[in-house]
Structure 1
Amino acid sequence: MVRGASSVLLKPKTTEEVSAILSYCNQHKLAVCPQGGNTGLVGGSVPVFDEVIISMALMNQVESVDSWSGVVVCQSGCVLEALDQHVAEHGLMVPLDLGAKGSCHIGGNVSTNAGGLRLLRYGSLHGSVLGVEAVLASGEVIDCLSTMKKDNTGYDLKHLFIGSEGTLGIVTKLAINCPPRPTAVNLAFLGLQSFDDVLQTFRDAKSKLGEILSSCEFIDRSSLECVEENLKLKSPIEPHPYYMLIETSGSNGDHDEEKLNTFLEYVMTSGQVTDGTVATEPSRIQHIWSLRERIAESLIADGYTYKYDISIPLPHFYKMVEDMREHLGSSIIRCCGYGHIGDGNLHLNITSKEYEKEILSRIEPTIFEWTARVKGSISAEHGLGFKKRNYIHFSKSDGAIGLMKQMKKIMDPNGILNPYKVLPDN
């Protein structure tokens, strides 16, 4: 749906080189498209016309790790998984985990304010990122690379760059607060009969697991069937309409196991959960997580996938899937939902044999109108990019959009930074 081409691809290695590139491009009014791991879903890293691509792939150095404070300073082109492995040597972990961790860049994660699997435990990147270094359209380097957890001196400018998708400046370095790496991890895979049971089980998990709850994921039957049929992965429990993955992580295995067992006994005795299994061995944990993390991969085998990343208030969370499934009827192969029940982030996926404009016209803007009616967000963790920018009014007021345009004009007066992204045409 989104394809781009450019005659120029630049791969700077330093902030100074990024500064020189932007200074030249701004002087000659040449548009640029910053690019990280290129794993986004909304066309944010794809040139629309002939923009100069600035790839951050060679800016992949970890500059320091402070094991006392748990702060890592790195360049923005570090691959998420490689960065996590690096800080693991210091007993730390990056507070972000994504299915695309093997190829996405930490700078791209920050520029789109990616959420991931453990936002429930560690919060968003607005809280984890302590400082950024960014280059403005003019080539000026803005050094907000604070490594302090408390820095209450003036406007917190780093937040302008977190989630702005490269439209206000290009992030070149980051300081990230990394929590201690857990030594005890347990994963429960549960089967449930109704979505009301899913909601109650989530509430009980927060109450009874408390500080050790690190992830709470939701999968519907259609999503799991896709993984089983297209990737030949096997579920460890019998078929159910709904599934949950509940992960705990801490420093005391006996304590965590006792709390998890008490929770599981409660939800199974109450009838909310009708089947389940618990994994503690890394290989089995990885297998169960693959049932969730490889859903996107499995959908490709259906044909074409229409992907939507939205935030929905929990009482309406699965009604979206049911309504879209009924709305589209037999014109599609599959309409399924999975995602982060812990923060209301639904990944709605619709497949057809091949891309059809008629199907897309029935999905959009219906899906965004539905989301707006329940006061949700049309983009939970992937940003707006090129594909969703003209739908921003479903989630933001005219006043808010107007202020965003003013900020863009001040920071990028010639409009060279990632044009045609985030902000609407009108």
Structure 2
Amino acid sequence: MQRGPYNTISTTDIRFFDSLLGPNRLITDPDECESYNIDFPSTVRGASRCVLKPKSTEEVSAILKYCNTRRLAVVPQSGNTGLVGGSNPVFDEIVISMKSMNKILDTNELAGVLTCEAGCVLENLENHLTTVGLMMPLDLGAKGSCLIGGCVSTNAGGLRLLRYGNLHGNILGVEAVKANGDVVDALNTLKKNNTGYHLKHLFIGSEGTLGIVTKVVIQCPPLPKAVHLAFLGLASFDKVLKTYHLAKRELGEILSSCEMMDRLSIDVSINNLDMKNPLTSYENGHEFYMLIETSGSHLAHDEEKLSSFVEKAMNNDIIEDGTLTNETAKINNIWGLRERISEGVLRDGYVFKYDISLPFTSFYKVVEVLRDRLRDPRIIRISGYGHLGDGNIHVQVSIPEYYVDVAAQLEPFIFEYVSQCQGSISAEHGIGFKKTKYLHMSKTSSEIAMMYDLKKLMDPNGILNPYKVLMPVTTELQS
């Protein structure tokens, strides 16, 4: 990758940002910039020497207007919890951190609509909504640090997508700032508004390449009165699929999450993080595990349905063992086994993490194919887990340290395999920096051409999150 045709930040630029934000919201110290340059799994590193922390849309607008005129590249950054290098600089781009834009602006309890700034932490929004009987339609393992603006910009999926759908359906409106500093006010608060182009969709999932999301309007469902969780042990992936099929039939409208983990994935939480497996009937554990959650309005009714489902699954010899609970503490502990896998696997060493979607017939086969292909004694584990209900599996290949030859065996092979199976090379983390050269495996040439047209229209100087999503187009630096 070559650095694009952008100017280098100067002392004059620093003086402008200092006059706009003040010294407390301008970071130029190399040591302080380091955490913004490195991603969550420590797989990419940029060389930014300037981090800006705006507190308002007006400040974001002023920053982008100035940078566009000066031809200074910028990278918007939220919680920095992504896995594809989408929120980190590649070279010396200016980082625009959204963490200081964290105000909840309005909560309409009757309509179930929340309006907030892009820098609000997902878990804080969840806690706020709980006080008024509502909930976020989105739930992620990184909810304690990810920001809602970043979730919207990547169209994050998460644990509740099976029940509530993706953010394209739950975001009612956005406010975003274009590359030239113009503010697009599309803060619609209505569920139905069929008036012309749905401009919000340009920014949802565009990963900060078309504009920086500054405010969000979210449709929030009622907080369920009854939540139950089943943790199941199974002998094969075929029985995992049978269990999912049975759950959809038996649990119907109260089914809210359906997660699958293989034994090596659960071992990450148990061995690397010292967590406890609630199923101890098998000495060496089960080959597969499932988390099935229900959310409803009647405690006894939901408990009866879930118990009946588990009993039927055991009588039909589909599951080997299981435990049920509606106690909040136990639910949180069991969910922790699933949610902390991504954290725990980092303790193995270096991890190749792949977020992909596949048809059910190929869903787990990708893990088996990789195990057969990579018969290398240096590999610690090849494991898979994910959102079975929406076809999204997370594949992890962990090794003590980065090896070029292992990387060469994995890429582009895994993306070619996914493409051959009519899957998607990115299910919920976006394209970012790591997958730009593989975009054509999930998008047609006509789609990619239109994406370039939109990028050129909305960001003609290419200053917004360059090198991400689309491969850079070489242009001459204009004076």
Q: Which bin holds the TM-score, normalised by the shorter protein? A: over 0.9
Q: Give the 3-state SS of the residue equivalent to 2:312 in structure 1.
A: helix
Does the CA contact (< 8 Å) of 1:392 and 1:424 recur in 2? no
**Which residue matches 1:310?**
356
Please name the residue that 2:347 is paired with. 301
| 2:356 maps to amino acid | I
Contact 1:29/1:414 (8 A) holds in 2? yes
Tell me the equivalent position of 2:12.
none
Q: Deviations over 1:229-257 (max 9, x none)?
A: 11121111131111100000111101101
The residue aligned with 2:309 is 263
Residue 303 of structure 1: CA displacement? 1.0
Instruction: Provide Cα deviations, 1:358-416, integer angstroms capped at 9, x if missing partner.
Output: 11111000000000000000000000000111110110111110110000000000101
2:419 to 372, 376, 379: 372
AA in 2 matched with 1:307: K
Which structure 2 residues correspond to residues 58-73 of structure 1 after superposition, within 5 A?
Answer: 58-73=100-115
Say if 1:218 and 1:245, in contact at 8 Å, map to a contact too.
yes
Q: Structure 1: 5+ residue runs without aligned partners?
A: none
* Counterpart for residue 337 of structure 1: 384
Query: 2:326 aligns to what?
Result: 280
Partner of 1:37: 79
Report the Cα distance in structure 2 between the residues aligned to 1:225 and 1:89, rounded to whole angstroms: 36
* 1:108-123 matched pairs, under 5 angstroms: 108-123=150-165
Where do 4+ consecutive residues of structure 1 move more than 6 Å?
none
Q: Secondary structure at the match of 2:375?
A: helix
Picking from 41, 54, 68, the partner of 1:12 is: 54
- Does the 8 Å CA contact 1:391/1:424 hold for their aligned counterparts? no
Q: Which of 386, 404, 421 in structure 1 is aligned with 2:433?
A: 386
Between stretches 379-388 and 292-301, larger displacement belongs to 292-301
- The match for 2:20 is none
Please name the residue that 1:410 is paired with: 457
What is the one-letter code of the residue matched to 1:137? A
How far apart, in 2, do the equivalents of 1:214 and 1:375 lie?
A: 26
Q: Distance in 2 between matches of 1:141 and 1:245?
A: 43
How many angstroms apart in 1 are the aligned matches of 2:175 and 2:408?
A: 41
d(CA) in 1 for partners of 2:327, 2:132: 22
Aligned equivalents of 1:60, 1:51: Cα separation in 2: 23
1:50 equivalenced with 2:97 (yes/no)? no
Residues 53-132 of structure 1 correspond to what in structure 2 (within 5 A)?
A: 53-132=95-174
What's the C-alpha RMSD, in Å, of the aligned pairs? Answer: 0.8
**Counterpart in the other structure of 1:28:** 70
Give the number of equivalent residue pairs.
Answer: 426
Deviation per CA, 1:82-136: give whole Å up to 9, x if none.
0111111111011101010000000000000000001000000000000000000
Deviating more after overlay: 228-237 vs 242-251 = 228-237
Take 1:301 and 1:53, find their aligned partners in 2: how far apart are those partners? 28
Residue 5 of structure 1 deviates from its aligned partner by 2.2
Rg larger for:
2
Aligned pairs for 1:165-244 (under 5 A) are: 165-237=207-279, 238=282, 239-244=285-290
Query: 1:316 aligns to what SS in structure 2?
Result: coil
**For the Cα contact (< 8 Å) 1:390–1:425, is it kept in 2?**
no
- Whether the aligned pair in 1 keeps the contact of 2:466 and 2:472 (CA below 8 Å) is no
Question: How far is 1:198 from its partner?
Answer: 0.6
Partner Cα separation in structure 1 for residue 216 and residue 140 of structure 2: 18
Maintained 8 Å contact 1:186/1:249: yes
Partner of 1:142: 184
* 1:378 maps to amino acid: I
Equivalent-residue separation in structure 2 for 1:291 and 1:6 (angstroms) = 36
**Structure-2 separation of matches of 1:52 and 1:230:** 36
How many angstroms apart in 1 are the aligned matches of 2:303 and 2:200? Answer: 39
Secondary structure of the residue aligned to 2:348 is coil
**Which shifted more, 210-219 or 327-336?**
327-336
- Identity, % of aligned pairs? 61
Shift of 1:226: 2.1
Letter in 1 for 2:363: F
Are 2:448 and 1:401 equivalent residues in the alignment? yes
Per-residue displacement from partner, 1:259-307 (whole Å, max 9, x unpaired)? 1111111111111011100111111111111110111122112111110
Output the amino acid matched with 1:271. D
Q: TM-score normalised to the size of structure 1?
A: 0.99
Distance 1:226 1:61 in 2: 36
CA displacement at 1:425 relative to structure 2: 4.0
- Is the 2:176–2:185 Cα contact (8 Å) retained in structure 1? yes
TM-score by length of 2: 0.88
On the 8 A contact 2:351/2:397 being kept in 1, the answer is yes
How many Å separate the matches in 1 of 2:325 and 2:430? 34
| Structure 2 unpaired stretches of 5+ | 1-42, 474-479
